[in-house]
Amino acid sequence: MSSIEANGKTYETDEEGYLADLNTWDKDVAAVMAGIDDCELTDSHWEVINFLREYYEEYQIAPAVRVLTKAIGKKLGKDKGNSKYLYELFPYGPAKQACKYAGLPKPTGCV
């Protein structure tokens, strides 16, 4: 088991850096995870991260990227519901990278 330090707290992760327990998530660990990838979290990032956490809370799964794109478009507007916008925010892949910062398990169907 690996771990990440944020603000004096230790968070257990799997070998790919996803949180072992999504209940241990907070904004500090999200920011530290993003920092490891040289990514600074802006309001636009948080919009997606918060959306993912709400989606997981309701459905108990992370959405596939196609589902995420469509749902973001519906919730946050068409200008944001496209893969270009999401890939600019999360260049390592919106589903994978944003799910990681949101403390969710790796999305089903991602390799």
Question: Active-site residue numbers?
Answer: 110
Q: How crowded is residue 64: how many other Cβ atoms within 10 Å of its Cβ?
A: 14
Q: How far is the CB of 63 from other proteins (least distance, A)?
A: 6
SS3 12: strand
Q: Report helix angle 65-76 to 43-59, nearest 10.
A: 110
Residues of this chain that interact with other proteins (CB under 8 A) are 58-61, 63-64, 66-67, 70-71, 74, 108-109
CB closer to other proteins out of 33 and 107:
107
CB closer to other proteins out of 3 and 50:
50
Q: How far is the CB of 108 from other proteins (least distance, A)?
A: 5
Q: How crowded is residue 93: how many other Cβ atoms within 10 Å of its Cβ?
A: 16
CB closer to other proteins out of 27 and 74:
74
Sign of CA dihedral 41, 46, 47, 51: positive
Q: How far is the CB of 45 from other proteins (least distance, A)?
A: 22
